[in-house]
A = this chain, B = another copy of it.
Amino acid sequence: MTALKPVPTDDLTGQMRALGQAARAAAHALAHTDSETKTRALTSAAEAVRVERDAILAANAEDMTAAADKNLTAAMLDRLKLDEARVAAIAKGLEDVAALPDPVGKVTEEWERPNGLRISRVRVPLGVIGIIYESRPNVTADAGGLCLKAGNAAVLRGGSESFHSSRAIAACLHEGLRAAGLPDTAVQLVPTTDRAAVGLMLTMPEFIDVIVPRGGKSLIERVQRESRIPVFAHLEGLCHVYVDGAADAKMAREVVLNAKMRRTGICGAAETLLIDRAVAESQLPGIVADLVEAGCALRGDEAAQAIDSRIAPAAPADWDTEYLDAVLAIRVVDGLDEAIDHVNRHGSHHTDSIVTADGSVAERFLSKVDSGIVLWNASTQFADGGEFGMGAEIGISTGKLHARGPVGAEQLTSYKYVVRGAGQTRP
C-alpha cells in the first residue's frame, strides 16, 4: 500500500494545484501509451485488488465503523459496505474494462480531397477527468479504470465516508500502473476529506478538462452550479412510460412493471406512467394490479383515479418528482401528442419509452421526445452502458454537448484531424 500523506489544510490550494499539474503531465504520457500497456495496467490492478482483498476489507471496516457514528441511512451504508463478492466484482470490473476495445487512435472518418490531401479524423484522449462521487468505493476502480482505458488521467474525489476504502482500492490501481511502467499519477485520489477540495477541483480548468459527478441531486446541483469546467452528468432521471392506444395490453403490463419496480433507486427507473385515454379503462386496472402487488404506491390525475380506486390523488408536483422509490405518478392523456408534450415539459431528457404496436406512432414518439435515450416497446431500465453493449460507463449524460446518454470509454475521447499531403499549398 502506498502511504498517502495528510495534507495541511492551510495549503490545500497549493496541494490541489500540484495534484492537477501531476495529472496533466500524466495525461500527456498516457495519450501516447499503447493499448497493450494500458491493458496490462488494468489487469495488474485487478490482480492487486484480489491480492489485497483483506487489506481493502479492513479499510472498509474502518469506514463502516466511522459511519456508524454518522447517522447514515441504511441505503447509504449498503452502498458503502464491501464484502468478498463486491471486492471480486471490482477486480472483475477492471478486467472487463481491460477487455474493451481501445477507442484511442481509431480512425472514425477518412476521405481524400480533389487536391490529393488525405484527411482522417482520429480519436484522441480528452486529457484529465475529475470524478466527484459519494459513498460507493467501487467508483474508484470503475472510474479510474475507464479513464485509463481512454488514455485519460483521473483525479478522483471520493466521499469522506468511503475514504479508507477508496484509498485502499486506489493503491491497487497504482500497483497496476507501476507494473505497466506507467506513472501512478495517472490515477490520483484527492488525499483529503476537506470539502473545499471539491471547490478547487471545479475551478482548475487548466488542469482538469471534464468533471463527472456521481451521486445525489445536491452533489450534482452543486457541481453544475460551481463548475468552471464542462460537466458530464444528469441531475435527474425523471423517466416516463407512455402506454399508447395501440399498445399490446400484456406487453404494457410487463414493461411498466419492470420500468418502475425492477430497481426503484436507479436513474433509469420510470417515475411517471402516461396512458392514452383510448385504452385507460381497459388496460389501467391490469397495470395497477401488478404494481400494487409489487408494493408500489400510485398517484394519479382525476381520470386515472376514476378508473381505479387504488390510485391516490396526485399533486401538481408529482409530475416533476423523481421518486427513486416505489411510487408512480399516473396521468391519462389524449393521445400521442399530449404524451410527447408532457414528457418534454416534465421529463429530465434522460430516458423515455413508448409501448405501442403502431410503428408510425412509435417513430413519432422516438423522433419528438427530446431525451438522450428513447425506447419503443422496452423498459426504461435498459438505460445503462452495459445494457447498451458499450461496456462500463462512467455515468449517463443529459447534456447535449459532446456526450449524451451512457458515457463510456469512447465518450471520454476527443478527436483530431490528421492531414497527409505531398507538398500541397493553398492557391
B residues within 8 A CB of A366? 418, 420
Contact A389 B113 (CB under 8 A): yes
Closest to A406 in B: B417
- Chain A contributes a number of interface residues (CB within 8 A of B) equal to 61
B residues within 8 A CB of A222? none
A239 at the interface (CB under 8 A from B): no
B residues within 8 A CB of A117? 378, 382, 387
Closest to A209 in B: B400
Contact A401 B367 (CB under 8 A): no
B residues within 8 A CB of A371? 416
Q: A306 to chain B: closest CB distance in Å?
A: 28
Taking a contact as CB atoms closer than 8 A, the residue among B28, B262, B370, B422 that contacts A426 in the complex is B262
CA gap between A119 and B248 in the complex, in Å: 21
A373 at the interface (CB under 8 A from B): yes
Segment 361-408 of A: residues with Cβ below 8 Å from B: 362, 366-368, 370-379, 381-382, 387-389, 400-402, 404-406
A285 at the interface (CB under 8 A from B): no
> Which listed segment binds B: A14-22, A74-82, A251-259, A322-330?
A251-259
Contact B401 A370 (CB under 8 A): no
| Given A230-B401, A401-B230, A414-B404: A421 and B368 interface contact (C-beta under 8 Å) | no
Contact B111 A389 (CB under 8 A): yes
B residues within 8 A CB of A374? 416-419
Segment 325-357 of A: residues with Cβ below 8 Å from B: 344, 355
Contact B404 A402 (CB under 8 A): no
CA gap between A422 and B376 in the complex, in Å: 8
Closest to A421 in B: B378
Taking a contact as CB atoms closer than 8 A, the residue among B32, B381, B404 that contacts A416 in the complex is B404
Contact B254 A423 (CB under 8 A): yes
CA gap between A24 and B382 in the complex, in Å: 30
B residues within 8 A CB of A400? 124, 126-127, 209, 414
Interface string of A10-52 (1 = CB under 8 A from B): 0000000000000000001001100000000000000000000
Contact B404 A415 (CB under 8 A): yes
B residues within 8 A CB of A375? 419-421
Contact A424 B31 (CB under 8 A): no
Contact B420 A373 (CB under 8 A): no
CA gap between A374 and B417 in the complex, in Å: 6
B residues within 8 A CB of A2? none
Taking a contact as CB atoms closer than 8 A, the residue among B32, B126, B262, B373 that contacts A367 in the complex is B32
Most buried by B among A210, A415, A425: A425
Segment 242-285 of A: residues with Cβ below 8 Å from B: 248, 251, 254-255, 257-259, 262
Contact A402 B401 (CB under 8 A): yes
Closest to A114 in B: B389
Contact A210 B405 (CB under 8 A): no
Contact A382 B248 (CB under 8 A): no
| Given A31-B370, A426-B379: A401 and B254 interface contact (C-beta under 8 Å) | no
16 contacts between A and B (CB under 8 A): A31-B370, A113-B388, A117-B387, A126-B401, A127-B400, A210-B401, A257-B425, A362-B420, A366-B418, A374-B418, A375-B420, A375-B421, A377-B424, A378-B424, A378-B425, A388-B417
